[in-house]
Structure 1
C-alpha cells in the first residue's frame, strides 16, 4: 500500500538536503509535496535534478567526502555516505592506495572531489571507474559527475523516505 509523503516539513526538508545538498533542488522537490508514493517522490527528485548547473554541482560536492574517506559530521548525509562506502567491501591496501592517488589526480585535473554512486559497487569497480573517468574531457566529466549525483539522490530518497526510514 502506498502512503502519502510530506516532503515540505522541516524534518523532510532536512532529509531532502541529505539526499542532494542543493538548495534549489530541495525547494523544488518540497514545493511539489505531498507525494502520492515514494516512487512519485523519486520521480520528482529526478526531474528536479535533470538539468543541474555547474554551480549546483559545486554546491553538492561540499556534502560528499572523497571516496574511501569518512564523511565529516554526524548528520544524515554523513551517515548515508558511510553506509554507501561500507558496501564497497573489505579494505584492500593496494586498491585503497590506488583510489587515494586517483582522488588526488582527479582533484588536480577537475578541481573537485570524485563523485560516484558507491552503492552496489566494489572497491575495484570504483577504481576502474575513477581511472576511466580521468580520461574524460572537462565537459564529459562534468556530465558524468552530475549523473552520479542524480543516482545518489534517487537512492538516498528511497532510504530517507522509504518504509524503513
Structure 2
C-alpha cells in the first residue's frame, strides 16, 4: 500500500463521527478498537491507519476480543445478506457436503473448548485449509489461542481497512 492518501482515507478522516464509527463497527465489533482508530484521526497515510489498527488490536483485553469475535459468523455459515462475510469465506463455497458437515462439527468442538467462535482470516483459504487450521488450533492452550485469535483479527482488520481506504464511504 502506498504512503499517499486515498479517497477512502480522505473520507474516513473527514466523516462525521457516527458514520465513521459505524463503518469501523462493521469491520470489527470491538468498541475499544474503533474508539482508538477514531481518536487518532486524521491519518496522513494508509500505513499510519494500519499501524494504529495493529496497536489497537494488540491492546484489546480478553473482553474486547470476545466482543470482536461476537461480530464474526462461524466459518461455513456467513451472515445472510452480508457480502463481506460471504466474500471472506468464499473458500467454503465449493466444498463438499462432507467437508461442510465436518466444519460444523469442528466449529462446535472449538466453541465448546474455547467459548467463542473459531476466528481465522479466511480470505484466500480453501475449505480444507480452514478445516486443517481448526483441527490444529483445537490443541492450543486458551492463552495460545487468544494470541492466535488476536493475530487473525489483526489480519482481518487490515483487509477490511484496505477495502475502506480503496473504496471510500460504505454503502448501506
Q: Same fold (TM over 0.5)?
A: yes
CA RMSD of aligned residues (A): 1.8
Q: Which runs of 5+ in 2 are unaligned?
A: none
Q: How does 1:15-164 map to 2 (within 5 A)?
A: 15-71=23-79, 78-163=82-167
Runs of 4+ in 1 over 4 A off after TM superposition: none
CA contact (8 A) 1:20 1:26 kept: yes
1:71, CA displacement in angstroms?
A: 1.2
Superposition TM-score, scaled by structure 1 size:
0.88
Q: CA deviation at 1:163?
A: 4.2
Matched positions, count: 161
CA distance in 1, matches of 2:101, 2:162: 32
Shift of 1:89: 4.9
- Equivalent-residue separation in structure 1 for 2:74 and 2:91 (angstroms): 15
- Asked if the contact 1:65/1:71 (under 8 Å) is kept, the reply is yes
- Measure the CA separation in 2 of the matches of 1:131 and 1:22: 26
Q: Which has the higher contact order (CA 8 A, sep 6+)?
A: 2
Q: Deviations over 1:49-108 (max 9, x none)?
A: 112211011111111101000215x5xxx3311210124451222221111110010011
Higher relative helix content: 2
* Contact 1:38–1:162 (Cα < 8 Å) also in 2: no
Name the structure 1 match of 2:5.
2
